[in-house]
Structure 1
Amino acid sequence: MERSQERNGGEGVAGREPGGEGLRLRKEIGLWSAVSLMAGCMIGSGVFMSPQGVLVYMGSPGASLVVWAGCGLLAMMGALCYAELSALVPKSGGEYAYILQIFGSLPAFLVIYTFVLLVRPAAIAAVSLSFAEYAVTPFYPGCSSMPQAVLKGVAASCILLLTLVNCWSSRLATMLVNVCAVAKVFSLLVIVVGGAVVLGQGRGHTETFLLAFHNTTQQAGRIGMAFYQGMWSFDGWNNVNYVVEELKNPKGRPPLGVCKEAGRF
């Protein structure tokens, strides 16, 4: 495959296959980049914001941990199913590619239309606003609420910057994902290890272990909302399927990436 460079200096993400078969995406994503992509997409605002919601809806720490385990199991099973689909249909596009292959163009169009115009923009807006709130808080100490114009401006700038990076170079975007994934995992390790150290020193509130399931809710609606809060934290387990054609080994990378990421979580 011939390697092309854009006029503005950016690195192209597609090339023409020999023999005139058309354009193909460049295969520049390896195993660890695929794992980092999943980790970077899964570890986000939900990990730091959803625990409170799960605890509020379930009413007890023990039941909350059961919900988290159930959410992790559901996410892992879904990711393994998607990994199998990516091996059978090695095409980028995720759900769109699979529905197009099985049911035809109209159902696939309806799915991708809803996803692109409704589902994904709402998720990106929520994550960006969460990032903006954390980023702006140090500049407004003592304020119970930050200016909405500042929050929305930072969120919009973040979306624009990441869009430009992905349009400029897939390799640069992959490097950024890897760096962010390492930073997120390191942050979680600091929280977990720090909590374990405090607990080991006897400074933790161990009395909650004695009544771990006290005041657990019995309402199906509240349990469902707790699972909804938990699944938001695991959202992103299917993102590797959107870049299958850019994987160096599309039939082996998604399953391996899913297994490694499942083991990490």
Structure 2
Amino acid sequence: MMDEKDLKKRKDTRNGSITHSVGSKMKPNEEEVKVILHKNVGLLSGISLIVGTMIGSGIFISPKAVLEGTGAVGPCLCVWAACGVLATLGALCYAELGTMITKSGGEYSYLMEGYGPVLAYLYSWTTVFVLKPSAFAILSLSCAEYASTPFYPGCTPPVIIRKCLAAAFILLIVLVNCLSVKLASYVQNFFTAAKLLIIAIIVVSGIVMLAQGNTQNFKNSFEGAATSFGAVGLAFYNGLWAFDGWNQLNFITEELKDPYRNLPLAIIIGIPLVSVCYVLVNVAYFSVMTPTELLQSSAVAVTYGDRVLYPVSWLVPLFVVFSTFGAANGSCFTAGRLIHVAGREGHMVKILSYISSKYYSPAPALIFNGILAIFYVIPADINTLINYFSFAQWLFYCLTSLSLIVMRFTRKELKRPLKVPIIIPVVVVIVSCYLVLAPIIDKPEFEYLYCTVFIVGGLIFYYPFVHRKFSWTRRVMRPITMHLQLLMEVVPPELEGRTADSK
């Protein structure tokens, strides 16, 4: 049985050829290349990934959470704008990290460089097993709900129909991402254009309503505003949830063309674009609905469409389907890269780091994420789980931004093509700490403790499987890895093999 080194490269002493892990020998005159993730993502696709992942179902369905936390129209719009500024500041920190450490994996790679393997492992443990697949499941369930609603007029679609359709969406997205990186990028570009189109329709129609004199909701817009520490914190918390995804491009740095130029440029273009869109869409909502009406609406954009866009109001739920499908595709795309890098670093089983020898995609990682997402579709409601684990996401944002400050002193030798003022990561760290603590202080519950126990509990697996690397685990995993490798036709990263033309 071949071990990992044999799978990566084996010399045939009889003719000097190199043998593939799947057993196909190269001819002596064939050119050798490395099987790695190819740089297929350009600037437009990078912007589409950021915008398409950030704009999901939240801005169309439930912006009322920010209004509930602020209590008035004026503070509500200010919070949306401030969330855009904070997301931009955080993304600028990530731009420096991404051009300094040009590895895929996002926070995982930066935590590894800044603090060492333990924190990086805890991040991958939490994100791989909970945050990424459950977010993928929620987006797919939202997409399924809006896709099935027209077929059940006057009633809610059956739960089993929504779940089966969500599972079908997950399988379709995973298949597209496994077969072609370029195809996944084209899908992302198309659905990003679709969601920007419906946003443009809402914004333009809102401007028309304002021009017709529907400005009563903006008079004395700061009356009745909430001022408590917890309420404002929760408003920011919910607003930033709609902005979540601003860091997605850092997960695929290795596949980005000219990352030193395109990573910061995509961030500078994409995130302010989303910020402006969010503020203008909320202005459009308030041009038609009072704060009370907005709070009573279960799907704000649908209510807006029924009042303003009739008889083409059906466009809104259709484009919500497009929006959620595009966001799910972006979530799957980046999750696969995180799992791939974690496997490559030895923090997950090695098979998850392997790359398709035919399509150059991290197929095992994508399939693993899809399987977990389908399991998360099965429970009746997983939104509660995500709400409680979201504070962990901001904890890791805080630690990642802090690592930028730490590495300014501990890793001075690293090249920094982009260097942001030190005050930017300081602000992000302070605000992140506030966002982690505010929900807990406002409404302390045992679920936050359970989440913390789950995160720290990952150390139980870290010690025997990662730190000690017990030999019996390698003996168990070798045959499993070999058979899965042959089944999926995948190879270890950077394996020398044939050219694409010779396959």
Does the alignment reach a TM-score above 0.5? yes
Which of 93, 106, 112 does residue 94 from structure 1 map onto?
106
Aligned pairs for 1:180-259 (under 5 A) are 180-202=191-213, 204=214, 206-259=215-268
Q: Could you tell me how far apart the structure 2 residues matched to 1:245 and 1:192 are?
A: 36
SS in 2 for 1:251: helix
Deviation at 1:217, TM superposition (A): 1.4
Decide whether the 8 Å contact of 1:128 with 1:158 is kept in 2.
yes
Aligned residue identity for 2:262: R
Q: Could you tell me how far apart the structure 2 residues matched to 1:221 and 1:128 are?
A: 31
Which of 169, 191, 200 does residue 180 from structure 2 map onto?
169
Q: Could you tell me how far apart the structure 2 residues matched to 1:121 and 1:214 are?
A: 41
Higher RCO (CA 8 Å, separation ≥ 6 residues): 1
Residues 66 and 236 (structure 1), Cα distance of their counterparts in 2 relative to 1, 3 Å cut: same
- TM value normalised by structure 2: 0.47
Q: Could you tell me how far apart the structure 2 residues matched to 1:213 and 1:131 are?
A: 35
CA deviation map 1:103-142 (0-9, x unaligned)? 2223212211111101112222222222222212211221
Give the count of matched residue pairs: 244
Q: Could you tell me how far apart the structure 1 residues matched to 2:242 and 2:201 are?
A: 18
Partner of 1:58: 70
Aligned residue identity for 2:203: V
Which of 52, 62, 77 does residue 89 from structure 2 map onto?
77
Identify unmatched segments of 5+ residues in structure 2. 1-30, 275-503
Deviation at 1:214, TM superposition (A): 1.6
Decide whether the 8 Å contact of 2:99 with 2:259 is kept in 1.
yes
Q: Could you tell me how far apart the structure 1 residues matched to 2:255 and 2:118 are?
A: 26
SS in 1 for 2:111: helix
> Higher mean Cα deviation, 173-182 or 118-127?
118-127
CA deviation map 1:43-86 (0-9, x unaligned)? 11112123111112221111110110111111111111111111
SS in 1 for 2:220: coil
Decide whether the 8 Å contact of 2:41 with 2:256 is kept in 1.
yes
SS in 1 for 2:153: coil
Partner of 1:13: none
Decide whether the 8 Å contact of 2:49 with 2:248 is kept in 1.
yes
Decide whether the 8 Å contact of 1:50 with 1:233 is kept in 2.
no
Q: Could you tell me how far apart the structure 2 residues matched to 1:219 and 1:101 are?
A: 38
Q: Which runs of 4+ in 1 moved over 4 A?
A: none
Aligned residue identity for 2:37: L
SS in 2 for 1:111: helix
2:166 maps to 1:155: yes
Partner of 1:112: 124
Q: Could you tell me how far apart the structure 2 residues matched to 1:167 and 1:234 are?
A: 27
Decide whether the 8 Å contact of 1:42 with 1:233 is kept in 2.
yes
SS in 2 for 1:25: coil
Q: Could you tell me how far apart the structure 1 residues matched to 2:77 and 2:107 are?
A: 30
Partner of 1:14: none
Partner of 2:400: none
SS in 1 for 2:36: strand
Q: Could you tell me how far apart the structure 1 residues matched to 2:62 and 2:127 are?
A: 23
Q: Give the CA RMSD over aligned residues.
A: 1.6
Partner of 2:146: 134
Which of 39, 56, 59 does residue 27 from structure 1 map onto?
39
Aligned residue identity for 1:50: S
Partner of 2:49: 37
Q: Could you tell me how far apart the structure 2 residues matched to 1:134 and 1:61 are?
A: 28
Deviation at 1:19, TM superposition (A): 7.0
Aligned residue identity for 2:165: V
Q: Could you tell me how far apart the structure 2 residues matched to 1:138 and 1:118 are?
A: 31
CA deviation map 1:173-231 (0-9, x unaligned)? 000000011001111000000111122123x2x22111211211122222222112111
Partner of 1:3: none
Aligned residue identity for 1:195: G
Q: Could you tell me how far apart the structure 1 residues matched to 2:119 and 2:136 are?
A: 24
SS in 1 for 2:154: coil
Look at both structures and tell me which one has the larger radius of gyration over its CA atoms: 2
Aligned residue identity for 1:132: A
